[in-house]
Amino acid sequence: MRKKTRLITHAAVIGAMYFALTHLQNLLLPGSASWSIQCRASEALCVLAFFTPAAIPGLTIGCLLFNLSFAGALPLDFLVGSLATLLACAAMYLTRKLRVFGCPVLGLAMPALWNALLVGWELTVYLGDTGFTMAAFWINALYVAAGEAIVLYTLGLALYRALSRGRLASELFS
């Protein structure tokens, strides 16, 4: 398979997995993928950005499609959430070789950072009773970061370790 075709195929499969896993989670645990402290299990797939650049457009499109299809999404969630995913995955790909004791600690923090800033802002704008305040923004940002960090440093790290061991990642993404 040609390299460009393989990249597009990987991106499509990754995006479909994100979309399906997020909807499945919302079906099994209603609202858990969209609360202030949201723990989207599908966000663990962000670690695929350490292994292939196809994860960047794949996860961005998967997030976009979920946010467009989810009735409970905020008005700009399709744009803000997708931008946060794009920036987080791109930053993860760029920091993929920075490791502490073999663990990409900095890269794993990127979804928490970007989602905290962008989704935290969005939540403050749309859900704030008294308008936008820095105190409300930082609370929302902290909640979003906590949810992202929980998923990335548990499920994401487990997925990263599973793919890093042996030849699985090289067989899947080379």
Question: pTM of the entire structure?
Answer: 0.90
CA atoms within 13 A on the CB side of 159: 18
Length of the chain: 174
Say if CB 52 and CB 99 are below 8 A apart. no
pLDDT in tens, 29-57: 888 877 767 889 999 999 999 999 999 99
- CB within 8 A of 63, min separation 6: which ones? 18, 81, 82, 85
Q: Is 171 helix (H, G, I), strand (E, B) or coil?
A: helix
Query: The domain spanning residue 31 has which CATH number?
Result: 1.10.1760
Q: What's residue 8's pLDDT?
A: 93
Q: Which two tokens stand for residue 13?
A: 């499969």
CA distances from 21 to 14, 68, 126 (A): 11, 15, 26
Quick one: which H or E segment has residue 55? helix 55-69
pLDDT in tens, 71-125: 676 778 889 999 999 999 999 999 999 989 888 999 999 999 999 999 999 888 8
Say if CB 43 and CB 152 are below 8 A apart. yes
Say if CB 110 and CB 95 are below 8 A apart. yes
> How many domains are there within the chain?
1
- CB within 8 A of 95, min separation 6: which ones? 104, 106, 107, 110
Range of the domain at 154: 3-173
